[in-house]
Amino acid sequence: MRANGFVDNLSGEELLGESVIREKRKIGEEGLRFIQIVEIAILLLVLGDDVLRQCGSRNT
């Protein structure tokens, strides 16, 4: 049992308060947003590297 929830004695399942569920959802959304930002940054790095290689091959 966690400090923020309580256990249903009939089923033995942990029940969380609404505020805890909202907080978990908020953390999940922030984590997803961070992952999306990292994916975009990696994509830009790969595309930028490809563009620089193409420009370099044209100049030589």
**Strand runs labelled E in 1-60:** 5-7, 14-16
pLDDT of residue 9: 62
- Give first-to-last CA distance, the chain, whole Å: 67
pLDDT value at position 23? Answer: 83
Banded model confidence at residue 1, pLDDT cuts 50, 70, 90 = very low
pLDDT by residue (tens digit) across 16-30?
677 777 888 888 889
Q: What is the pLDDT of residue 11?
A: 64
Hey, where are the domains in the chain? 5-59
Q: Tokens 């420009």 map to which residue?
A: 55
pLDDT digits (tens, 9 = 90+) for 32-41: 899 999 999 9
